[in-house]
Structure 1
Amino acid sequence: MLLSPKYSFLFVHIAKTGGTSVRAALERLRWRDPWYYPMFLCSRLSHLSGHRIASKLPRHAKVVAAKELLPKEYFDTLFKFAFVRNPWDLQVSSFHHIRRERPHYLGGHQNFEDFLRWKLDPERPYQYHVDTSITPQTDYLIDLSGKIVVDYIGRYERLHADFVEICTKIGIPPPGLPHARQAKDRQKDYRSYYRDATAELVADYFARDIEMLGYGFDPPD
């Protein structure tokens, strides 16, 4: 999550949706923000305490955390946005990310289908780096009553165009988006990773995301 008091925006960072690139592009604005140094100090104090003093919004915090912590009149003035991604594509991206950067979290499952079935097993013990990417994306967008409270939902599938529109709404010239954490060993079409059974497994698990965000296994023409 990235909060900018100067530019009055709140970026809700959902894992594996291009958020690292968006964050990198926008973080440079923080140097122009008069609140940067107090926020940086709070972040360091939180880190030094083992995050036991609740003085920062975590990187992948849900929007409800900001809504509950910030004064209502201030929260309401912020331009709140997030990016989402096709759930089938997101799971492929997550697999390659974990295999590349945290292979010890694969649970011994070296191919995508085995890993996916293990990952979505409700009996599996919780692991942050695995479970962040199977938390429903809509959970990040809603308040305690289930209402979507972000103002703009961008799509990973049109990341650059939507980012330009977001920057226009914020009132800044759109900075370039760096391509962070690109997987060089994945096949381009996520559909090639699935059989009917595993595609249906994702459809069932992420049914709410698919319905609310309008995704399907096959991308729109």
Structure 2
Amino acid sequence: MLLSPRYKFLFVHIAKTGGTSVRKALEGMRWRDPWYYPMFLCSRLSHLSGHRIGTKLPRHAKVIAAQELLPKEHFDALFKFAFVRNPWDLQVSSFHHIRRERPHYLGGNETFEDFLRWKLDPERPYQYHVDTSITLQTDYLADLHGRILVDFIGRYETLHADFETACARIGIQPPALPHARQAKDRKQDYRSYFNDATAELVARHFARDIELLGYRFDSD
């Protein structure tokens, strides 16, 4: 999550949706925000205290966390936005990311199919780096009653164009988006990773995202 009091925006960072590129593009604006320095100091104090003073919004916090922590008039005045991604493609991206950077979280599963079945097993113990990517994307965008709280939802599939739209809403010239890391051994077409059974596993788990965000297995 990235908050800018000066530019009055809140970026809700959903894992594996291009958010790291968006954060890097916008983080340079922090140095021009006079609120950044007291926010940084509070963040350090929060870290040293074990986050007991509640001043830091975590990287992948849901928008409802900001709604609860910020004054209502301040929260309501923010331009709140996020990016989402086709759930099937997101799972392929997550598999390659974990295999490349945190292979000990694969649970001993070497293939995408085995990893996906293990990952979506409700009896599996919770693991942050695994479970972040199977939390419903709409959970990041809504309150406890399911009401969408963000003002703009961009898509990973049209990241550059939608980022420019978000910047226009903020009132800034869009900074260049850095290139996200790509797995060198990843096939470009996510559909090739699935069979009918595993595609249905994702369809069931992410049914609400698929319905509300308008994704399909064969989305371009």
The TM tier, using the shorter chain, reads over 0.9
Counterpart check, 1:54 vs 2:58: no
For the residues of structure 1 that align with 2:20 and 2:45, how far apart are their CA atoms?
23
Tell me, what secondary structure is at the counterpart of 1:10?
strand
Render the CA deviation track for 1:109-132: whole Å, top value 9, x for unaligned.
011000000000000000000000
- Distance apart, 1:71 and its partner CA: 0.9
Q: Give runs of aligned pairs for residues 111-190 of structure 1, distance below 5 A.
A: 111-190=111-190
Deviation at 1:55, TM superposition (A): 1.4
- What's the TM-score once normalised by structure 1's chain length? 0.98
Q: Deviation per CA, 1:130-173: give whole Å up to 9, x if none.
A: 00000000000001221001000000000000001111111111
Give, in whole Å, the separation in 2 of the partners of 1:128 and 1:181.
21
Q: CA deviation at 1:50?
A: 2.4
State the distance in 1 between where 2:76 and 2:174 align.
24
Q: CA deviation at 1:96?
A: 0.3
Distance in 2 (CA, whole Å) between partners of 1:112 and 1:96 is 9
CA shift for structure 1 position 19: 0.1
Q: For 1:94 and 1:143, locate their aligned partners in 2 and report how far apart those are by CA, in whole Å.
A: 25
Q: State how far apart, in whole Å, the 1-side matches of 2:42 and 2:189 are.
A: 42
**CA shift for structure 1 position 185:** 1.2
Q: Aligned partners of 1:94, 1:152: CA distance in 2, in Å? A: 24
Q: What letter matches 1:65 in structure 2?
A: A
Distance 1:46 1:115 in 2: 36
Map of 1:198-213 to 2, 5 A cutoff? 198-213=198-213
User: Quick one: distance in 2 between partners of 1:88 and 1:15?
Assistant: 14
What's the Cα RMSD here? Answer: 0.8
Find the residue that maps to 2:80 and give its secondary structure: strand
Measured in 2, the distance between the counterparts of 1:64 and 1:13 equals: 13
CA distance in 2, matches of 1:99, 1:48: 31
Q: 2:30 corresponds to which residue?
A: 30
Query: Paired residue for 1:197?
Result: 197
**In structure 2, distance between residues paired with 1:96 and 1:50:** 31
Which amino acid is 1:80 matched to?
Answer: K
Secondary structure at 2:83's aligned position in 1? strand
Q: Distance in 1 between matches of 2:196 and 2:61?
A: 33
Tell me, what secondary structure is at the counterpart of 2:58? coil
Structure 2 gaps, min length 5: none
1:47 Cα deviation after fit = 1.7
Q: Aligned partners of 2:98, 2:85: CA distance in 1, in Å?
A: 17
Question: Which residue in 2 is equivalent to 1:217?
Answer: 217
Specify the SS of the correspondent of 1:34.
Answer: coil
Which residue pairs with 1:84 in the alignment? Answer: 84
CA distance in 2, matches of 1:49, 1:131: 26
Q: d(CA) in 2 for partners of 1:81 and 1:7?
A: 13
Cα distance in 2 for partners of 1:107, 1:117 equals 11
Letter in 2 for 1:119: K
* 2:168 partner SS: helix
Secondary structure of the residue aligned to 1:165 is helix
Partner of 2:94: 94
For normalisation by structure 2, the TM-score amounts to 0.98
The aligned length equals: 220
One-letter code aligned to 1:156: Y
Paired AA for residue 77 in structure 1: A
